[in-house]
Structure 1
Amino acid sequence: MSLGPMEIVLVLVVVLLIFGAKKLPQIGKDLGAGLREFKNSGRELMHSADQPSDQRREE
């Protein structure tokens, strides 16, 4: 399922109405930080899965 331009605009308007214009920058920062942390955790998990199990025990 993909969102078209009208759906995205509708979601943004609803978010603006719910949270207000003053909260949007902080919400964006928090969302970006959360996504960044999620990606970093995924990379760490993939890195640890690539290592043999005996090397993981030494760390």
Structure 2
Amino acid sequence: MSLGPWEIAIIVLLIIVLFGAKKLPDAARSIGRSMRIFKSEVKEMQKDDETPAQPEQQPQGYQHPQQIEAPQNLQQPNFQQHYQNQPQQPDYRQNYEDPNRTP
């Protein structure tokens, strides 16, 4: 199925009617810019794929986390002792009566 000259003329006429003759040059210009940007990005991606990646340099004194030794004499917190030394809070629920409760 190929487009003949009449079909192409009708399509062009519809585009002019839909977008207006004043907006067509701006639309074509923006499409051209978009195509240039797209092509340059594709070239940059291809260039990045061709060049080998260089390893990042670590700052001086940096040690990988697996190379750092953990301290051996860490004390575990004693939570039971902590809670035993806390003053007892009164239980306010003991004498609470629900005002919405019907007998």
TM-score band (shorter)?
0.7 to 0.9
Question: Which residues of 2 match residues 1-59 of structure 1 at below 5 A?
Answer: 4=3, 6=5, 8-54=8-54
Amino acid at match of 1:11: I
Q: CA 1:9 to 1:37, structure 2 compared with 1: closer, same or farther past 3 Å?
A: farther
Q: Compare 41-50 and 10-19 and name the one that shifted more.
A: 10-19
Structure 1: 5+ residue stretches without partners: none
Percent identity between matched residues is 27
TM, length-normalised to structure 2: 0.45
Amino acid at match of 2:20: G
Q: Compare 3-12 and 22-31 and name the one that shifted more.
A: 3-12
Larger C-alpha radius of gyration, 1 or 2? 2
Distance 2:4 2:38 in 1: 26
Instruction: State the Cα RMSD in Å.
Output: 2.4
Larger helix percent: 1
Amino acid at match of 2:15: V
